Amino acid sequence: MKRLVSLGFVVALTFSGLSPSAAAGSNDRISETVSYNAETGTPYFIAGTLTTPSLNSPTNIVLSYLEEKEKLYSIESGGKTTFDPVSEKTDELGFTNIKLQQMHNGIPVFGSILSALVDQAGVLTAVSGEVVPIPPMKAVEKTSLLPVSEASAAILADLGAKLGAAPEIIHEERPSLTVYVSEGEAKFAYSSEVEFLKPEPGNFHYLIDALSGKVLTSFNQIHHADPTGKDTVSAGKGLIGDKKAIHTIKNAEGTFLLDRTRGKGILTYDGAKGLLLPGKLWRDSDGIFNESYDGAAVDAHVYAGQTFDYYKNIHGRISYDGTGAKVVSTVHYGENYNNAFWSGSQMVYGDGDGVMFSPLSGSLDVVAHELTHAVTASTAKLIYQGDSGAINESMSDIFGILVEDHFKNSPDWLIGEDIYTPKQKGDALRSLADPTVSGQPDHYTKRYMGTEDYGGVHINSGIGNKVGFLLASGGTHFNIKVQGIGKAKTGKILYRTLTQYLTPKTTYRQYQAAAVQAATDLYGASSSEVASVKAAFSAVGLK
Ligand SMILES: [Ca+2]
Ligand SMILES: [Ca+2]
Ligand SMILES: [Ca+2]
Ligand SMILES: [Zn+2]
């Protein structure tokens, strides 16, 4: 599989007073810091005082700025590039965030979304994301495009070959036409997502050449806690028997794991060791959840609630979608199943085989990791491939750590220590303090560039994880000293980065610029927090 991201080095330069409006003699000072992708020559992050104050709507302010900057973005004249606003939200600092989809001759460019911020005075302060330059495309008659049904058939055929059996599809998004740019070539492609549970759970995103029907790329968006694990058959094991209060509802039929005190509800289901989702809402006849079989459900329920509370109380976010979406979990999924994942609509936990894993809901950091994938899926929508996939994974790991810390659940910088290799003490799935202990890179120059694991999403996450660790705890890494700012400020900065600035195809270099900007919004450009963000990224080779 080809990597979608470009690896060209990047230069950042600052200039002032060069914009047309400043040249026209306005008193309002215009200043811009532009970070360019040296390979494509287009900017990926612009920050500063980009426009003069305006009473226009935030969306119109951004749109007219982009129109003015056509040249800067080296938008090809071969076709018409426009931007479709897809969302507009105001944050707690008074900024309005506008997300825009790049369109080429009216067709969306796959994964190309810009995220822009306009302050309370109507001044554009940042544009995050790269406008994809569209190489000249052959003029194509609408009639020569394959019918949508053939794209669906191509997906099914490819999945059948991949899985060794025809998948039982539970949801298929109707393929929609996009412009897909890869390796300097632009193609018309159908984009579609398919969700299935058999022969094994999958949630694949496909891009199918709209002329030839060939598969251009595909990736599985199920976020596995451990992508390399294999199911082995051995005895299961219960959870640690710690006592905790849980929110439930009770009626004549019994007591159910439904917590209506949080958003639209926290619901926990019994998969009963089968593969059907979500299974049955957990019911207990005497209302006391103290059997050993109950342990996995109690932990999933309590930890989903704690993760919900963390995002609500610390970041003002109500559930993963920000509007109180139901949080659904299924435990006892499959037989000795060595994994946990966010399916695209709910969390799923296996019981583990008792050797590699104990029931996976027993680890608060793993639960928060999976739910953070849901936060990412409804904000930055980081594509689960290459750099953006690694950043997606790293965000989940970092917030897993922060939630564990917030609830003083034996906080550490390890992921999954409570459920990984139950017969062996002291190890974990990953370490953020030292990613190399589980074979992850801790510097951008050491990144994995192969095709396994969707371009190393669980491998290169080590780079982002090291940044998170250094930013919070400080330290000297590759001779660069980082002053730690603590976990709370790290969470504030990275939450703002994730929800306001990151876009589907964000690379590690873009992530650096975005994090610096988020810290600038929160603490000011000359703050020690901004200096620490810069140092933390610099220590892993990103500046
Ligand atoms: Ca009971
Ligand atoms: Ca941990
Ligand atoms: Ca262990
Ligand atoms: Zn993950």
What's the CATH number where 281 sits? 3.10.170.10
Residue 497 DSSP code:
I
Q: Give the ligand whose atoms come closest to the C-alpha of residue 341.
A: 4
Q: What is the pLDDT of residue 152?
A: 93
The yes-or-no answer on residue 458 being catalytic is yes
Question: What is the distance in A from the centroid of ligand 2 to the CA of 83?
Answer: 42
Domain extent, residue 249, equals 225-377
- In the predicted model, is pLDDT for residue 257 greater than 50? yes
Report the pLDDT averaged over residues 112-134.
Answer: 89
Question: What is the distance in A from the centroid of ligand 2 to the CA of 49?
Answer: 41
- In the predicted model, is pLDDT for residue 8 greater than 60? no
Q: Is residue 82 part of a domain?
A: yes
Tell me which of 32, 458, 477, 529 is the catalytic residue. Answer: 458
- In the predicted model, is pLDDT for residue 2 greater than 60? no
- 262 and 398 fall within a common domain: no
Last residue of some domain: 128, 162, 190?
128
Residue 166, SS3?
coil
Higher pLDDT, 514 or 161: 514
- 237 and 366 fall within a common domain: yes
pLDDT digits (tens, 9 = 90+) for 50-61: 999 999 999 999
- 326 and 392 fall within a common domain: no
Q: Which CATH number goes with the domain that contains 468? A: 1.10.390.10
- 235 and 180 fall within a common domain: no
Q: Give the ligand whose atoms come closest to the C-alpha of residue 419.
A: 3
- In the predicted model, is pLDDT for residue 405 greater than 70? yes
Q: What is the pLDDT of residue 7?
A: 27
The yes-or-no answer on residue 369 being catalytic is no
- 177 and 241 fall within a common domain: no
Report the pLDDT averaged over residues 458-462.
Answer: 97
pLDDT classification of 168: cutoffs 50, 70, 90: confident
Report the pLDDT averaged over residues 306-320.
Answer: 97
Q: Is residue 137 part of a domain?
A: no
Residue 44 to residue 34: CA distance in whole angstroms:
8
pLDDT classification of 236: cutoffs 50, 70, 90: very low
- 88 and 185 fall within a common domain: no
- 383 and 369 fall within a common domain: no
- 248 and 349 fall within a common domain: yes
Q: What is the pLDDT of residue 229?
A: 28
Residue 418 to residue 237: CA distance in whole angstroms:
13
Last residue of some domain: 330, 362, 377?
377
Question: What is the distance in A from the centroid of ligand 1 to the CA of 42?
Answer: 61
Question: What is the distance in A from the centroid of ligand 1 to the CA of 363?
Answer: 22
- In the predicted model, is pLDDT for residue 228 greater than 50? no
Q: Of 78-82, 141-145, 312-316, give the range with the top mean pLDDT.
A: 312-316
Q: What is the pLDDT of residue 76?
A: 56
- In the predicted model, is pLDDT for residue 20 greater than 50? no
Report the pLDDT averaged over residues 88-111.
Answer: 89
The count of structural domains within the chain is 4
Q: Is residue 134 part of a domain?
A: no
* CA angle 362–367–370, rounded 5-degree value: 145
Contact yes or no for 29/51 (Cβ under 8 A): no
Q: Which CATH number goes with the domain that contains 147? A: 3.10.450.40
Q: What is the pLDDT of residue 75?
A: 65
Calculate the average pLDDT of the chain: 87
Q: What is the pLDDT of residue 10?
A: 32
- 349 and 281 fall within a common domain: yes
Question: What is the distance in A from the centroid of ligand 1 to the CA of 121?
Answer: 58
Alpha helices in 137-186 (DSSP H): 148-163
Q: What is the pLDDT of residue 74?
A: 63
Q: Is residue 4 part of a domain?
A: no
Last residue of some domain: 359, 377, 395?
377
- Non-local (6+) Cβ contacts of 295 within 8 A are 238, 239, 240, 241, 359, 362
- In the predicted model, is pLDDT for residue 238 greater than 70? no
Q: Is residue 289 part of a domain?
A: yes
Q: What is the pLDDT of residue 227?
A: 28
Question: What is the distance in A from the centroid of ligand 4 to the CA of 383?
Answer: 12
Q: What is the pLDDT of residue 3?
A: 27
Question: What is the distance in A from the centroid of ligand 3 to the CA of 460?
Answer: 23
Q: Give the ligand whose atoms come closest to the C-alpha of residue 246.
A: 1
Q: Give the ligand whose atoms come closest to the C-alpha of residue 297.
A: 1
- 353 and 415 fall within a common domain: no
Higher pLDDT, 30 or 336: 336
- In the predicted model, is pLDDT for residue 66 greater than 60? yes
- In the predicted model, is pLDDT for residue 422 greater than 50? yes
Question: What is the distance in A from the centroid of ligand 2 to the CA of 515?
Answer: 24
Radius of gyration of the chain (CA): 24
**What tokens were used for 193?**
């997502």
Tell me which of 130, 370, 404, 417 is the catalytic residue. Answer: 370
Report the pLDDT averaged over residues 358-377.
Answer: 97
Q: Give the ligand whose atoms come closest to the C-alpha of residue 363.
A: 2
Q: Residue 444: beta bridge partners?
A: none
Q: What is the pLDDT of residue 38?
A: 75
Q: Is residue 208 part of a domain?
A: yes
Q: Is residue 147 part of a domain?
A: yes
- In the predicted model, is pLDDT for residue 230 greater than 60? no
- Among 321, 268, 339, 323, smallest CA distance to 298 is for 268
- 373 and 383 fall within a common domain: no
- 63 and 100 fall within a common domain: yes
Q: What is the pLDDT of residue 299?
A: 95
Least-confidence region, from 143-147, 175-179, 473-477: 143-147
Q: What percent of the chain has pLDDT over 90?
A: 61
Q: What is the pLDDT of residue 539?
A: 98
Report the pLDDT averaged over residues 152-181.
Answer: 89
